[in-house]
Amino acid sequence: MTRPPSRSAQDKKPPAEVGFLARMALALTDWTERWVPDAFVFALIATLIVVVAGVAFTPSTMPQVVDAWGKGFWELIPFTLQMALIIITGHVLATSRPVGRVIRGLAAWPTTPRNAVALVAFFAMASSWFNWGFSLIFSAVLAKEIARRVEGVDYRALAAASFLGLGSVWAQGLSGSAALQMATAGALQPQIREIVAGSSRAASSRSATRFFSGKASRPSSSRSRSSRR
């Protein structure tokens, strides 16, 4: 008597009606989950490579390299705290009672798995335009709530759809890092700021010159016609 397969193995086995691309995606997902290590392992390996290269190819000693690594780590603390505050405040807002009612209302809309994934993708991108930290938590909670309600929906597709805001829209939105960095007064060096300011003034002066010269040329032409008459 053969032993029946475990429930996890049955869940991972693709059904017969699944297409070739879906079977390939499931196989690659299983291989990745089994063999690809965690991101922290890559960070440790990269740190070790940098330390060894710093000692081997520069005149720095091991204590100097370790000291430089430590100083660089603590210089990242302000940025780390900013990112932590974005995530924390986004989580507080997305899990509040008013937003929870909105999420439950939205989760009642889709009736098919395809509509559920499309709904999560749309609201993930729309909310990410306003704030990517809020979208990160809001989309995850929305995907979790829809997974409870819509029967047969693929939770992996919902999870992927919930990240579409961070993958496509957030950089062009109100919380985009590049736009906020350029809007910060001390983000650019003084020399670069003078160049940018000079180019913008030159562009505006050229536009004004074209505008006023075009309007000023019309009266002169009319005066020349009247003088000829």
CA angle centred on 18, ends 14 and 24, rounded to 5°? 70
Which residues make Cβ contacts (< 8 Å) with residue 175, sequence separation at least 6? 86, 130, 131, 132, 133
pTM (2 d.p.): 0.60
Half-sphere exposure for 208 (CA within 13 Å, toward CB):
6
Give per-residue pLDDT as tens, 17-38.
568 888 898 899 899 989 999 8
Residue 210 has pLDDT above 60, yes or no: no
Check pLDDT > 80 for residue 12. Answer: no
For residue 138, pLDDT beyond 90: yes
Q: How big is the chain by its Cα radius of gyration, in Å? A: 29
Place of tokens 């003084």: 190
